[in-house]
Homo-oligomer: A and B are copies of this chain.
Amino acid sequence: MKVLTVVKIGGNVVDNPEAIEKFLLQFSLLEGPKILIHGGGIMASEMSEKMGVETKMHNGRRITDEETLKICTMVYAGWINKSIVAGLQKIGCNSLGLSGADAGCVPAKRRSPEPVDFGFVGDVNPGDVNAGFLASLLGRGITPVFCAITHDRNGSLLNTNADTMASSIAISLSGTYYTKLIYCFEKDGVLSDPSNEKSVIPLVNTEGYRRLKETGIVSAGMLPKIDNAFLALEKGVSEVYIKNWSNITLSGGTMLKL
């Protein structure tokens, strides 16, 4: 089976022109077929502020009303996605920017308005991803670059969690490829001591994860990332890593194991 590498980068990289250029060069050096999923960064919040759109939150989570969806789509699917594509084309990586609506790649289900209405937010079922189309692009040597905007098949765009988007896409292709999923962020991996950047745990299994959660060592922001990582492993993805974005072609970071 051919190896496919699925990489997710977060907002901290996307927001920094030097970092993103450095990252894209490394990403382009990954051998074989690959897919990039990018988060949004702070540009959407900055835009909302400039345009006088109020950011509505519930328990620390953003509510995507119509104006916010418009801004997120403009920033994620417009400026960030196309800038990344142009940056990859420059260095000879033939990339293609996609939202989940394009070619019906990643349909999503709008989240139930009960108990809290988060607005235009969608959840993805990996089984719904159009893996055949993605495989056909990969087969032509094209590198898909995804923003985390999807659609409900009924004309509405939806804001989606980029970590889930990445695991869903990786899962959907794990029948066709030996699939590696790499979550990149600004730390070197899962830390055993949050105050010590060097305390990377090289391997976390489900039992280890349970203990990390119990002791409260893993921070709230990391939980969905690791949950998505384990889900991916359960559903057929061969290898999952959490590592620094500046380090994707090298060893190091945290490997997740069931």
Which of A's residues lie within 8 Å of B, judged by CB?
A: 47, 50-52, 70, 73-79, 81-83, 85-87, 89-90, 94-99, 101-104, 133, 136, 140, 142, 149, 151, 153-157
Contacts and interface: CB of A to CB of B under 8 A. Distances in A.
Contacts of A149: 82
A251 to B, nearest CB: 30
A80 to B, nearest CB: 9
A75 B74 contact: yes
Given A70-B79, A89-B151, A95-B102, 11 more contacts: A51-B51, A77-B79, A77-B97, A78-B78, A82-B101, A85-B102, A85-B151, A86-B156, A86-B157, A89-B155, A90-B153
B77 A99 contact: no
Contacts of A85: 99, 101-102, 151
B83 A157 contact: yes
Given A78-B76, A79-B73, A99-B82, A87 B140 contact: no
A76 B97 CA distance: 14
Given A94-B103, A102-B95, A102-B96, A81 B86 contact: no
